Structure 1
Amino acid sequence: MRFLVRERLFAVGDDYWIEDEDGRKVFLVDGKALRMRDTFELKDAQGRILIEIRQKLLSLRDTMLIERDGEQLARIKRKRLSLMRNHYRVTLVDGTGLDVSGKILDREFAIDYDGELLAQISRRWLTVRDTYGIDVVREDADTALLVAVAVCVIVLADKERDED
């Protein structure tokens, strides 16, 4: 399942749609403006909140939390002891983890579980500027979670780049 993400620069509240390959709007990333911490909601095309994403306050390293129906689903932060700067770890509430690695700022990275590719994020097969694709490889994967993970690591990497 392949999705197209068109990022709009300087959009109020950082809102943008994620479309399927046929151009149908599937997810809305609804950024909440004027908050003390980065906060997003991933909504379906009907406006229902599927996942809430928020920056964790008071942590040594930037951390994003993903919640579904008020329950924490995952925690994302840059991997501490990695030679690659663009390596993030997603810890799910059940203790399992996903690895995110690649060129995050270039929108060229992968999301893996135990060495198995779950999703590939890339601009390579697109010609539209400020657009990247999210290709969810496994049909049984939690698509909304993988889209949320991609959004989180991009926010974290962009923020880290801006601080440097």
Structure 2
Amino acid sequence: MKYLVRDKIFGIGDDYWIEDEHGRHAFLVDGKALRLRDTLEIKDPAGRVLITLRAKMLSIRDAMTIERDDQTLATVRKKRLSLLRNHYRVSLAEGTELDVTGRVLNREFSVEHDGELLARISRKWLRVRDTYAVDVVRNDADPALLIAVAVCVIRMAERERGDG
């Protein structure tokens, strides 16, 4: 299932619908204004918070947490040695890890677990300007989590480049 995400909409205080490939509202991204740190909520169409994204404040390396029901679900960090491509590591609370590799700033990257593709993020499928797709390729994968991972790595890459 593909989800369409608009670029540059994840500012503090911004709200935006992420649509599925059929044009239906799938998730609402709610940028929380007046917070001490960068915070976003991903909600279902009924308004229930599914995922909360937070920038870690006092971290040696840039990191973001992904939370569900006030519990840390995952922590996203950039790997130290990334020569030609961006490489991020997502440490899940259960002890497993996801790898994110590709050209994040170009919106061309993938999310894998133990070498198995979970999601592909790409602009090349779309003609709509400033939009990218999160293609969740496994039926048993958590789309909200994979969208949250994509949003986190893009925000971190833009902050590192000086855009955010």
Cα contact 1:8–1:14 (8 A) shared by 2 = no
Cα contact 2:12–2:38 (8 A) shared by 1 = no
Deviation at 1:83, TM superposition (A): 2.2
Could you say if the C-alpha distance between residues 62 and 85 of structure 1 is closer, same or farther in structure 2, counting changes exceeding 3 Å? Answer: farther
Mapping of residues 69-88 of structure 1, within 5 Å: 69-84=69-84, 86-88=86-88
Deviation at 1:84, TM superposition (A): 3.9
Unaligned runs of 5+ in 1: none
Whole-angstrom CA distance in 2 between matches of 1:105 and 1:129? 15
Whole-angstrom CA distance in 2 between matches of 1:110 and 1:104? 9
In the other structure, the counterpart of 1:7 is 7
Could you say if the C-alpha distance between residues 46 and 10 of structure 1 is closer, same or farther in structure 2, counting changes exceeding 3 Å? Answer: closer
Q: What letter matches 1:133 in structure 2?
A: A
Cα contact 1:31–1:40 (8 A) shared by 2 = yes
Cα contact 2:4–2:19 (8 A) shared by 1 = yes
Bigger mean CA deviation after superposition, 32-41 or 59-68: 32-41
The alignment partner of 1:105 has SS state of helix
In the other structure, the counterpart of 1:156 is 156
After the TM superposition, which segments of 4 or more aligned residues of structure 1 sit over 6 Å from their partners? none
The alignment partner of 1:112 has SS state of strand
Unaligned runs of 5+ in 2: none
Q: What letter matches 2:73 in structure 1?
A: L
Q: Give the number of equivalent residue pairs.
A: 164
Q: Calculate the TM-score normalised by the size of structure 1.
A: 0.93
Cα deviation per residue 1:28-68 (whole Å; 9 max; x = unaligned)? 11111232211000101111000111011100111000110
Q: Percent of aligned positions with the same letter in both sequences? A: 65
Whole-angstrom CA distance in 1 between matches of 2:28 and 2:84? 31
Q: Calculate the TM-score normalised by the size of structure 2.
A: 0.93
